[in-house]
């Protein structure tokens, strides 16, 4: 994942509704959700949801697939994992990271 992809993904997630939609799709797993189900679950108007799904799709965080007359949206786990890998690539200079609890311990 290159830096511009990371910025695009983080920008897409830096909005409350889009973050909620993405998290709902992560929870839904491989089955995904239809826009109607997302709208009902999150209480987001259909036209507003459409805009946010477009932004998440453009960022590569969400994919869509047509099933008959319905669209099904799914979280892109590969993009999510690539983003997390990019963000933590040089974590703790290659050493195992300590939890906050371990850092604050006077052991």
Predicted confidence (pLDDT) per residue in 9-64, tens digit: 999 999 999 999 999 999 999 999 999 999 999 999 999 999 999 999 999 999 99
CATH number at residue 70: 1.10.10.10
DSSP 74: E
Domain containing residue 13? 3-104
pLDDT top residue among 33 and 99: 33
Q: What is the pTM of this model?
A: 0.84
CB 73 within 8 A of CB 25: yes
How many structural domains is the chain composed of? 1
- Cβ distance 33 to 72 under 8 Å? yes
3-state SS, 75-98, equals ECHHHHHHHHHHHHCCHHHHCCCC
């Amino acid at each position: 994942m290159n830096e511009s992809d990371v910025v695009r993904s983080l920008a897409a997630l830096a909005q409350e509704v889009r973050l909620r939609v993405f998290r709902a799709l992560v929870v839904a797993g491989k089955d995904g959700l239809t826009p109607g189900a997302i709208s009902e679950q999150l209480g987001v108007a259909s036209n507003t949801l459409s805009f946010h799904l477009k932004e998440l799709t453009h960022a590569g965080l969400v994919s869509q697939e047509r099933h008959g007359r319905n669209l099904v949206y799914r979280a892109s786990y590969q993009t999510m994992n690539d983003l997390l890998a990019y963000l933590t690539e040089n974590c703790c200079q290659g050493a195992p990271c300590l939890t906050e609890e371990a850092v604050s311990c006077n052991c």
